Amino acid sequence: MEQTPNAVWASAGAAEGDTELNAFDNALLAAQVGNLNLIRISSVLPQNATVLDQPPQITPGSLVPTVYSVHVSARPGETVAAAVGIGVAEGSHGMIYESHGTSLDEVEASVRQMIDEGFARRGLCLKAVIVRSIEHKVERIGCAVAAVVLWWR
């Protein structure tokens, strides 16, 4: 049975934690996806999927297909950044890409370049680009997360 999500939502969050795993968990909470079981998927946006402005109502603990990027560091003063980019196509499926690095400019430029290349390689016509990104200056142990949740409405 084919199960194709028909809605997507992008978010980003950053946080500190006492351990790398706690920093990651806290960043997921900041991105409003911390109570979901994220299933990491590759990067195809289903055709005609609605891009939501607000997170969909999903029961905590649900298995949720997600494209995400994460950058964790335990080096105080370092900047961590993460971004996701959604390329919406004209009349076809689109693409979702993710990047992490040490600055907002770097990760945003990276996902935009990947969208351009992915669309060119597939011969798709780019209609719109949506980018969600965040950067965080590490105090003790910090994490930046960006995610695109795929879901059903």
Catalytic site residues? 37, 42-43, 98
Burial class (CB in 10 A: 0-12, 13-18, 19+), 102: middle
DSSP code at position 111: H
* Cβ-contact 49, 123 below 8 angstroms: no
Query: CA 11, 114, 65, 54 torsion: positive or negative?
Result: positive
Residue 115 to residues 21, 44, 73, 108, 122: CA-CA distances in angstroms?
A: 30, 11, 27, 11, 11
- Rounded Cα gap, residues 140 and 76, in angstroms: 5
Left if phi > 0, otherwise alpha if psi is -120 to 50, otherwise beta: which for 24? alpha
* Cβ-contact 140, 77 below 8 angstroms: no
